[in-house]
Amino acid sequence: MATTTTKTNKPILPRGVDNRPVDSYNRAELYSGKALDFDGVNDYVDLAGFTMSGSVASFSFYVNADNTGNVYFLDANPNRFVLRFLNNKVALFSGSLVEFDAIKANEWTHLVYVLNGTSAKCYANGVQLGIEQTITAIDLSAATDFDLGRWYLGGAYYDGGMAGFKIFNTALTAAQVADLYNNPEKIVPTGVDNTALKLWLPMQEGAGTTAYDGSGNGNHGTINGATWTHGIGAPIAQTAVIDWNKGSNFFNDSSWEVSSAKTNAFVFSSSHIAPNGVDTAAVFDDGVGSTYKRAYKVTSTSMAIGQITASTFVKKKDVDYINVVLGADGGATKIFALVDLVNGTINDTSGSPTATSIKSVGDGWYYVSVQGDQLSSAQGLAYIYGQDPTNGSSVDENYTGENNQTYIWGINIQEGAINNVHLPTIGTSQSSDVLLPQGLTTGRDITGVNLFENVRKQGALNLDGNSWAEVHDNASLDFGTGSFSLEAWVKAEYINTGSAYNVILNLGSILGYSTGLTSGSGYIAFFYGSLASNYSTSNDGSWVHIVGTYDGTNATIYANGVQESQAARTAIDVSTNEIKYIGKDSNISRTYKDQLAQPRIYNRALTASEVLNNYNATKTLYI
């Protein structure tokens, strides 16, 4: 941020309101939250199968209601238990109907119902709403139907937004409710054990028809009609400040199963635990017959021509080697990696893969990926087959005998050349990226998968093309015709979001009439009223430290501490009363879609040596 001093720079901080003095921090309000929007007609989320014993519980969630009449947040049947609006008041039915008080419509509100057996309290934005009410205790283990957003038989449909639905099997204290409200990125409040969280639907995926349960209990919800909304600010939890992993998977039911095996292969259930610590791994047996066997998965969705990546988890049981294959062009072209399951290496490849990788994820499991070219829009294909245990050669594929088994679990195939963490698809493929938040268990995301490769770097915002931050305008950001500098760490990648530019940092108004840093196809540029200087880059997704300076005469751009381009520019007045954006400008189609860290604005031109010093001081975090 810019200050009134000449040598001090202070970072732009996410969240909060920009009401501090000009010699302090400029705080950015972050708009990366997501939610489900219910239309009040027939939208709901089906949580069939959810049960929880006891009559002591707490329900925590966010609502932005368009209608506060007779609508339901949740309905559990039998022994009816309902969280609802009634006559504009927040209400609860548990044997009898009780009302608490009204909340504002068309405004995000954090609601918490706390049930302590035969009494109930309700909190709105951390403050108790109305008085404590007497209720009939209901054991939730009796629930056979569990719907969010409607009466379980249909009707009383909720109209508005909902996010961050949690159920605890304990009665939260007033302090713990306030803790959740004041810290929306927090999963469990202080003083509550992780195991008390029985359901957590962040509703932050932003795509797909599954609301994933982050509690680790596997109570994923099926979304019926409700649509995703983006770019929501506080108090909704912000995806850009949570450790999330991006994932997509074209495979339906993304575990190896008997039904998906080729007829001359054997894939069967085993008591061996999969890498997520929850599911059962499969066993692939290649020891029957005189020809090699295959276990395979085929996508049910046609994919775009270009780079695709297939991956799976494998572990040694009997044999020392296994082949992981990507069958591009509908299987006509076979690209594979020969995996050494003893040493955790890839010993050989065939078919000219673009890239291969192998990573240990613990307990002997390896995550193997193969990248190659999809030559047509034919269905993607991935499979594994056994390998001669004596020599590990990619030539000899056929062997017979017993003890020729390998553990396998999980299969992922996605478009593009960057392999992300495995995404279980629970019956339906997910062709576009979803954001998977880190769950309660160290090192695992909400689907239970090991976070052996977290895509979000330390201190970075993880923007997804529907997210940005806004810095309120104040005098410290008005440079007039004077000098200034813009700085940020960014992933050097251009993704077409409807414009030739992905805006990194902007001083207000629409780029081309204002000033900022932006990425384009093959370059990163510094705009000073118009395109002033640029840095040519392959846009391969690598981290780059970018600085744009104007010293009253020249507009200069630096990349990784080195001056790349400079152009003489006549001074223009860059002061505006516009919001200063991180990750977009006032044209929503120019959003930045990747990680962005340490954005800074200075009210002077940094020298070349200062730029280099800043790069060297922070490069170990990103390179």
Give me the chain's average pLDDT, please.
Answer: 82
Q: What is the mean pLDDT of residues 508-522?
A: 78
Q: How many beta carbons lie within 10 A of that of residue 583, not counting itself?
A: 32
The residues with which 411 forms a beta bridge, in sequence order, are: 312
Q: What is the mean pLDDT of residues 258-275?
A: 66
Q: What is the pLDDT of residues 84-129, one digit of tens each?
A: 999 889 999 998 899 999 999 999 999 999 999 899 999 999 999 9
* % residues pLDDT > 70 (the chain): 83
Domains of the chain, residue spans? 13-32+463-621, 35-242, 258-431
Quote the pLDDT of residue 488: 95
Got the DSSP string for 536-597? E----SEEEEEEEEE-SSEEEEEETTEEEEEEE--------SSPEEES--SSGGG---SEEE
pLDDT at 383 over 60: yes
Q: What is the pLDDT of residues 180-238, one digit of tens each?
A: 999 998 999 999 999 999 999 999 989 888 898 888 788 889 999 999 999 999 899 99
Quote the pLDDT of residue 202: 94
The CATH number of the domain covering residues in 13-32+463-621: 2.60.120.200
Alpha-carbon distances, residue 203 vs 80, 208, 226, 231, 395 (angstroms): 25, 11, 11, 13, 48
Quote the pLDDT of residue 20: 40
Quote the pLDDT of residue 603: 92
pLDDT at 543 over 80: yes
Any idea which architecture 258-431 has in CATH? Sandwich (2.60)
pLDDT at 589 over 90: no
Q: What is the mean pLDDT of residues 355-366?
A: 88
pTM score, whole prediction: 0.83
Q: Which amino acid makes up residue 419?
A: N
For 35-242, the fitting CATH number among 1.10.600.10, 1.10.10.10, 3.40.50.300, 2.60.120.200 is: 2.60.120.200
Phi and psi at residue 284, to the nearest 5°: -105, 125
Q: Lowest mean pLDDT: which of 126-130, 378-382, 396-400?
A: 396-400
Q: What is the pLDDT of residues 284-330, one digit of tens each?
A: 877 655 555 677 777 766 677 777 888 889 999 888 888 887 765 44
What is the distance between the alpha carbons of residues 288 and 294, in angstroms, rounded to a whole number? Answer: 12
Q: What is the pLDDT of residues 462-488, one digit of tens each?
A: 888 889 999 888 888 889 999 999 999
What is the distance between the alpha carbons of residues 270 and 273, in angstroms, rounded to a whole number? Answer: 8
Q: Do domains 13-32+463-621 and 35-242 have the same CATH topology?
A: yes
